[in-house]
Amino acid sequence: MLIVENSPLYSAEFFANDDPWTYLANLRENHPVSIHRRSDGYEFYALTRYEDVYSAYVDYARLSSSYGTMIDGSYRPEKDSASGRMLIVADPPAHSAIKKPIKSAGFNRAMLMKIGDIVRKNIRSVLADLSVGDQLDFSQVVAPELPRGVLEALFGIGTDDAQRLLEATRTMIGYRDEVYAGNSPLDSLVDSQLDVLDFMSELIDQRIRMESSDDMIGFLAQCVATGEMPRDVALLNGLNVAVGGNETTPHTASLTVDTINNEWAEWRKLVDGKVSCEVATQEFLRWTSTNSYVQRLAVDDFAVGDHVIPAGSFVTLWNMSANRDASVFEQPSSFLIDRPNNKQIAFGAGIHRCIGAPVATLEIQTFIEELASWDKAFVVVEPPQRLHSNFMLGLTELQVEVTKAEDLKS
């Protein structure tokens, strides 16, 4: 088995300034299971093939989420401080008990319809304000409108409070990037976490006083009031939903615009009605693979092909690599907007498939629908600036110019 000392997979700079796609493709082709070490003693096994990543996702009995889902989440194989209380770091049966109220209140059909309406309104509003010749940073002006609508619906808050949450959660995910965290990344991470938790606490108190359960946080607040859910569980999962929803879709939207800029011929198939938005959305999700990996801990020996990963080992499941696996996707390194039977796993699989996947998919599809029907278009005018993160693939800056859509038909 390949052992990589001081692996680039630890490096946020490598993901921002180099080519992790090619590096992972080489692992997938020649070393689908490998060990990656760092000078301080931290190490993990990396799974890069679709079949292995999928199998690892669904084997929650041997690969636990309770020990942190990110590299450096825990230095030693010890449980995360939120283990068993926050959905993403809970295993059954705690996982099921937490998931049920969140899903029923935040991700039911009525809430999805409400979210869709607000997101569409926000996107139309920001696009309507743009004129031909305008130059802007898409990642700062347009992309945040997607999650802002979700926050307004799920947490029953206004635009200003939604912006406060957006800024805090962006720092939490991008704390290793100076654009978001400045020169004190760990301080910025802690401060942003506390800011979000304080905000959730205020909302829960307010909803309890109002006896309101019209939105997700209100429903959780009533569970706290009746004793059905501990307060800390409501707080942690409010944070979890806010962070998960806020940062994936704006980065995916920015990467989508950059992809369109590089793939005009493919984009025209959608604009000309030759492919549905549903199909196109799945390919954008596969191609961008914004959440690059998740980490698990093997609590029992775990066999992968001819290899056995011993109990007590950290295991990383590389979504971005799995979504480029030639054994599953024809022409995996090409963006094919009409790709049939797309089996992308950008949101994971099994019981730990992202609970917000339907909302995120709705956001991106709504954005694509509005962009395709817009009489204007974005042209990228400067090289995109990639986020310094090995966990989240995104852009901290995407300078674009607005042009007439008809000017790009050729």
CB atoms within 10 A of CB 302: 21
Identify residue 164 by its one-letter amino acid code: R
Alpha-carbon distance of 208 to 226, in angstroms, equals 10
Please report, for the domain that includes residue 39, its CATH number: 1.10.630.10
Q: Supply the DSSP string of 190-235, one letter for each residue.
A: HHHHHHHHHHHHHHHHHHHHHT--SSHHHHHHHHHHHTSS-HHHHH
Does some domain include residue 356?
A: yes
* pLDDT on residue 74: 45
Handedness of CA 93, 249, 150, 364 (dihedral sign): negative
* pLDDT on residue 18: 97
Does some domain include residue 120?
A: yes
C-alpha of 320 from chain center: 12
- Given a contact cutoff of 8 angstroms between Cβ atoms, the answer to whether 297 and 67 are in contact is yes
Does some domain include residue 8?
A: yes
3-state secondary structure 12-61: HHHHHHCCHHHHHHHHHHHCCEEEEECCCCCEEEEECCHHHHHHHHHCCC
Domain of 245 in residue numbering reads as: 2-404
Does some domain include residue 409?
A: no
* pLDDT on residue 124: 97
Handedness of CA 256, 261, 263, 266 (dihedral sign): positive
Q: What is the pLDDT along the chain (410 residues), one digit of tens a residue?
A: 999 999 999 999 999 999 999 999 999 999 999 999 999 889 999 999 999 999 999 999 999 999 888 887 544 455 667 788 899 889 999 999 999 999 988 888 999 999 999 999 999 999 999 999 999 999 999 999 999 989 999 999 998 898 888 888 877 766 566 665 566 666 667 778 888 889 899 999 999 999 888 899 999 999 999 999 999 999 999 888 888 777 789 999 999 999 999 999 999 999 999 999 999 999 999 999 999 999 999 999 999 999 999 999 999 999 999 999 999 999 999 999 999 999 999 999 999 999 999 999 999 999 999 999 999 999 999 999 999 999 999 999 999 999 999 877 65
* pLDDT on residue 84: 86
C-alpha of 216 from chain center: 20
Answer yes or no: pTM beyond 0.95: no
* pLDDT on residue 243: 83
Please state the domain count of the chain. 1
Does some domain include residue 58?
A: yes
* pLDDT on residue 178: 64
Alpha-carbon distance of 270 to 373, in angstroms, equals 10
User: How many helices, marked H, and strands, marked E, lie in the chain?
Assistant: 16, 13
Does some domain include residue 295?
A: yes
Does some domain include residue 278?
A: yes
Does some domain include residue 296?
A: yes
Residue 300 φ then ψ, to 5°: -150, 160
